[in-house]
Amino acid sequence: MSHPSKHLLAIEGLEPPHIADLLDLAESYALLNRSGKTQRDLLKGRTLINLFFEDSTRTRTSFELAGKRLGADVINMSVSQSSVNKGETLLDTASTLNAMQCDLLVIRHAQSGAPALLSQKVDAAVINAGDGTHEHPTQALLDALTIRRHKGRLEGLVVAICGDIAHSRVARSNIHLLTTMGSRVRVVGPPTLIPADAARLGVEVFHDMKAGLAGADVVMMLRLQRERMSGGLVPSAREFFRFYGLDAEKLAHAKDDSIVMHPGPMNRGVEIDSAIADHPTRSVIGEQVEMGVACRMAVLDILARRLPRNR
């Protein structure tokens, strides 16, 4: 089945075969990357612009690496270097990008919906690299690929997503992807950090880590996103760790072979104990980063197939 759109703006709306196609292609890129081979002809002559209005380490560099491994010309634009600081609007930026004849545009923005708006104004295929609290589709793909490599499937798995659900675009994209693929998703956190409409998304809500982690196959921890909180939604970092931070004692309630994930950046000692984050067999956090490159190669490849022929 081919990808349903010219862009990748969200996981919501994708059907199981679309997701499975992306994951299968990403798996082949993961193997290619491990073999040390490259495929530099695929995006030869294509221009990929990374337009980041918010900080990023993993996402920006892995899109850059993914583009370069497929042979694209990659340009990184960060806000501090661009005219956006001089008051240029998003739409003026769009016409500049059109004039540059960019083929693939990766955008991260603090405003939910900014990539969708831009996609209506630029000729390029747009990839959402995180917009406000809305979605972060490539993160959900890399998480799903990592889970599938460890568990062999997504269907029927119990996945506990824990911590600051309310401010997390990672949680939102993961919930859409995992429920679409038949996983049983739980969200675990204090009532102040769980959106009121969470159950509508098809997840079970828990406010207690012990109950939420009981029998889980996957434990996904999220960062406390203080930059998106308007008031004091959590008492203190210490208090948060006591009730919701993942340590060996809480992890003992999940299955013995459960895996631990985190999208990064991690607040060690706040949402996750260092001993768990660095655990040699349970933590798959390093592999998530590796799968990030493979998934972004798959997304670029699939979207490039729909682009008009090289100029």
Closest separation in Å from C-beta 76 to ligand ASP: 16
The first and second tokens of residue 156, run together, are 């029927």
Minimum gap (Å) between residue 193 Cβ and ligand ASP: 13
According to CB under 6 A, which one of 157, 263, 277, 295 is a site residue for ligand ASP?
263
Q: Does 130 bind ligand ASP (CB under 6 A)?
A: yes
Q: Is the peptide bond before 265 cis (omega within 30 degrees of 0)?
A: yes
Minimal CB distance residue for ligand ASP: 223
User: Hey, how many other C-beta atoms are within 10 angstroms of the C-beta on 86?
Assistant: 6
Give the three-class secondary structure for 204: strand
Amino acid at site 55: D
Task: State how far the Cα of 152 lies from the Cα of 141, in Å rounded to an integer.
Answer: 15
Nearer to ligand ASP, 110 or 214 (CB): 110
Surface-to-core class of residue 309, CB atoms within 10 Å of its CB (0-12 exposed, 13-18 middle, 19+ buried): exposed
Burial class (CB in 10 A: 0-12, 13-18, 19+), 68: middle
Give the span between the Cα atoms of 307 and 282, in whole angstroms: 41
Measured CA to CA, the distance from residue 172 to residue 137 in angstroms comes to 9
Note whether 294 binds ligand ASP by CB under 6 A: no
- State the nearest-atom distance from the C-beta of 58 to ligand ASP, in Å: 7
Which residue intervals of the chain are DSSP H helices? 16-35, 58-69, 90-99, 114-119, 137-151, 169-180, 209-213, 237-244, 248-251, 274-277, 285-304
| Residues 190-219 contacting ligand ASP, CB under 6 A | none
For residue 75, the minimal CB distance to ligand ASP (Å) is 21
Q: How many residues bind ligand ASP (CB under 6 A)?
A: 8
Q: From the list 60, 151, 169, 296, which residue makes contact with ligand ASP (rule: CB under 6 A)?
A: 169
- Determine which residue in the list 170, 187, 198, 303 makes contact with ligand ASP, applying CB under 6 A: 170
> Nearer to ligand ASP by C-beta: 190 or 263?
263
If the CB atoms of residues 253 and 262 are measured against ligand ASP, the closer one turns out to be: 262
Identify which of residues 136 and 253 has a Cβ nearer to ligand ASP in the complex.
136
CB of 19 to ligand ASP, least distance (A): 19
What minimum distance in Å lies between the beta carbon of 264 and ligand ASP? 6
Instruction: Return the number of the residue (170 or 285) whose C-beta is nearest ligand ASP.
Output: 170
Minimum distance from CB of 66 to ligand ASP (Å)? 16
Rule CB under 6 A: say whether 172 interacts with ligand ASP: no
**Is residue 253 close enough to count as binding ligand ASP by CB under 6 A?**
no
Site for ligand ASP contains 223 (CB under 6 A): yes
Q: What is the dihedral of CA 260, 188, 169, 220, to 10 degrees?
A: 0
Smallest distance, Å, CB 143 to ligand ASP? Answer: 11
Let me know the angle formed at the C-alpha of 74 by 142 and 292, rounded to the nearest 5 degrees.
10
What is the DSSP pairing of strand 218-221 with strand 259-261?
Answer: parallel
Query: What would the two tokens of residue 104 be?
Result: 């693939």
Query: Given the complex with ligand ASP, which of 245 and 263 has the nearer CB atom?
Result: 263
Bridge partner list, 290: none
Which residues are near ligand ASP by CB under 6 A?
130, 136, 169-170, 223, 225, 263-264
